[in-house]
Amino acid sequence: MDWICLGASVTAPQGYERAKQLSESATVITCNSGIFLEPKPDHYFAADRHACREFWIAAHQARQTGTNTITTHRNRQWVNCCEYLTPGQGEPTRDSYGKFLYSGLVCLDYACRHGATQILMAGMDGYRTLRNPAGNHFDSLERDGYTANHDAYTLQTLAVVKPRTQSIVTLWRDVEFVLIGSPNYDIEGGNWTVEQW
């Protein structure tokens, strides 16, 4: 079963368009501001306070049209969520999620645990680094205090995004991962490919 995992990097709009061309009937999961690119995804994940505050209206509207809304926190806005996930400790295993680090990585792991055989990854190329100094989010918002700090972004990409993505790709060898765009990190594995435009 094909899935599209839609992140929020600057390449998300073009990457999502390409992913839909590759698999029109794919199941779509997104998080955070990805809800603005795909207002009716099959699954929408939001867990941190910022996401639950900023995107809950759009998520609520999506839920009214059938979107499975997912979170880990039962705050006021998310009391009526469809599904609650329990984070694990450390790296993910086949039996449990790992420690939740970034929403896009939770979405990637979620797709693997729900029958994906191929995941088209759009807008998931990692944070801005000296290798790719463009902005971080397609909506031009800087949310994390790292504005123009390439060293901090490089650290987040290389210390968090790359190793967690690698652990998911390694754990789910029966899933084909196709990143659409130009990632700011490298992954090893026969089930990992990059489609650059």
| pLDDT tens, position by position, 144-155 | 544 455 566 667
CA distance 175 to 88: 21
112 pLDDT band, cuts 50/70/90, is very high
Q: What are the residue boundaries of the structural domains of the chain, listed by start?
A: 2-195
CA distance 15 to 62: 21
The answer to whether the CB of 8 falls within 8 A of the CB of 34 is: yes
Instruction: Look over the chain and give the mean of its residue pLDDT values, rounded to a whole number.
Output: 85
CATH tag for 2-195 (out of 1.10.10, 3.40.50, 3.90.1480, 3.30.310) = 3.90.1480
Share of the chain above pLDDT 70, in %: 82
Which tokens in the block code for residue 195? 């489609």
138 pLDDT band, cuts 50/70/90, is low
pLDDT of residue 109: 96
Residue 129 has pLDDT above 60, yes or no: no
